[in-house]
Structure 1
Amino acid sequence: MVASPPTDRVVAVVELLAAAPRGLSVSEVAARLDQNRSTATAVLGALERPGWVQRGADRRYVLGPGLLAVADAVRGRVRLPEGAAEVLAELATRVGCGVALSLVGVDQVVFLAVEPGPGRVPAGIAVGTRLPLRPPAGAAVLPWRPAAERAAWLAHAPELASTLDTIRAHGVAAWRPRGDSVALLEILRDVVGLLDEHPGRAGLRTRVLDQLALISAHAYTEAELTADRALPLSYLAAPIRDARGTPTHELQIGPLRAAVGRVERREYIDALRAAADRLSGAPPVA
């Protein structure tokens, strides 16, 4: 897909204002997006005409009522499975860590719901976060995708071909961090947190998230998961199926622990599967 810088700037402004309910001035928008003031003024002016943003008496911009029709259209097409909020909250409490629900599209993964619970959610992940559909994102759904989509996904990590077979057989994707990556993992998480405050650095943020994936998402085999020894565990994911039985969403938990025993790993897997089963086939929220 060919990038469109003008379009990217408009998207960045809308996303920035969505995260700033009190509004931002032109100079603040320009500074946070690393744009010059004339560019920020032009983008805000274009968005103000259809009412997508509005300027207050204090000269600060907020999202405007013109976006309501867009929001209603999105809600009509992208809706959570019924009971999702309750299921995610219960799962987060049961496993003691962050839980996320994402929609796996053709070329990207979009996070629809996030529940930190008593734990934490991986840095950079919030409702609306979009990630390219590349390993490990979407792994719990990919085994049931057309061959061409699987091939495109595996082109980034050919060694995961057998992992997709394991996921198809057992319904769970399990990931571990690279053994020497613990310190780097913490640093990269902090970097992503800082970059979240500067949407104009979206390209750099994507590169950092790619590095996080590389060091924190090495797939476990079924034999490794059932071994008696304690193992590091970063994430677990399971597919959620629509009313036709087709996997469309991914439910993920993030223990992010250096050592998890066999019994506790089994508890994580059972809790995740049970929650995914509850959401599978559920009608979308009206």
Structure 2
Amino acid sequence: MDVLAALADSPAGRTSAELAKLCGISTSTCALLLTELEQGSWVARHPDRRYVLGAGLFKLVNGLRAQFPLLDRGREALTFLHRTLGAGCSMSRIGDRHLTTVDAVGHGTDGEHAVGQRFPIDPPFGLVAMAWRDDDAVDAWLRRVRPRLTETDAAQHRRVLADIRNRGYGAWRFGDAHAALHDRLAAVLASVDTSEQVARQLSTLMTMVTLESVTGVLESKLASTEFVVLPIFGRDGQPAYQIEIHLARPETLTLSDLDAALSHARQLLAAAVV
């Protein structure tokens, strides 16, 4: 799996020695793996001895399309939002306990938005996913957050959930008191020699404690808005997917332009959701 993942991130291909180094395995083990994968057409070898993903994986692709019907149409919506809003966009599938990133456009190759990345449905990441749930489901969700929320924090999250329902989507920014802290911590993470998983977890925690919702006051806070999260509803009336939009130049954006872009993206995806 590590070999296939490495090739997925290397469109130009990799040699057997390069793959062995990337995956932390011996060259002999890597050679044996590649031989097995090539026999199944899961990888293919070019004349220059570089390996790439093979046509045998199309069966998996078709299976994923059946399970995740938004894969094709989702890329169209993400590309539209990226071009229209000048934003980095990602799409996540909403599960019972996690959000799973299924595609991203405009984020580069940073691990924070890597396809396949999972986030627990905790505030603030799960607020849009939970906004249309009933009171009992929301109460149970808030009780399982760790560390335990104070009554004040829980009440604030309920107010944000109401704002999201009223607006139809969520919007957040880094608070004035926290923006400098976020930038400094991001710089520290970039300079510390730590594992990708630890860095990602610290970055996630940092985001949780520095974001503040501006959903209910977006008319006056759009210029400072950093993130917008758009729910894509399933047939049960609950969000089945969500699109996370990292606005790059909100100072040139009007609320009517944003609403129009989000409405069009939702229309692109509505018929594909099962």
TM-score, scaled to structure 2: 0.72
Structure 1 residues 256, 123: closer, same or farther in 2, change over 3 A? farther
Q: Is 1:250 paired with 2:237? A: no
* Alignment match, 1:6: none
* Alignment match, 2:208: 214
CA distance in 2, matches of 1:282, 1:81: 13
1:131 to 104, 108, 118: 118
Aligned residues of 1:244 and 1:281 also touching (Cα < 8 A): no
Q: Is 1:169 paired with 2:169? A: no
Q: Structure 2 regions of 5+ residues with no counterpart?
A: none
Offset, 1:78: 1.0
* Alignment match, 1:198: none
Structure 1 residues 67, 206: closer, same or farther in 2, change over 3 A? same
* Alignment match, 1:150: 141
Higher helix share: 2
How do 1:1-286 and structure 2 match up within 5 A? Answer: 10=1, 12-37=2-27, 40-41=30-31, 43-44=33-34, 47-48=37-38, 50-80=40-70, 84-116=74-106, 123-124=110-111, 128-134=115-121, 135-144=123-132, 147=137, 150-151=141-142, 154-155=145-146, 158=149, 159=153, 161-162=157-158, 163-177=160-174, 178-181=178-181, 183-184=183-184, 187=187, 202-211=196-205, 213-214=207-208, 217-220=211-214, 222=216, 224-226=217-219, 228=220, 232-256=224-248, 264=253, 266-267=255-256, 269-271=258-260, 273-279=262-268, 281-283=270-272
Aligned residues of 1:94 and 1:271 also touching (Cα < 8 A): no
Deviations 1:89-139 (A, max 9, x none): 4433432323333222234333344343xxx66943667342323443343
- SS of 1:181's partner is helix
User: Which amino acid counterpart does residue 13 of structure 2 have in structure 1?
Assistant: G
Deviations 1:158-215 (A, max 9, x none): 4363233332333221111233235337637967xx99xxxxx552453254245336
- State, as a whole percentage, how many aligned pairs show the same letter: 24
CA RMSD of aligned residues (A): 4.0
Count matched residues. 261
Structure 1 residues 183, 125: closer, same or farther in 2, change over 3 A? closer
Q: Structure 1 regions of 5+ residues with no counterpart?
A: 1-9, 196-200
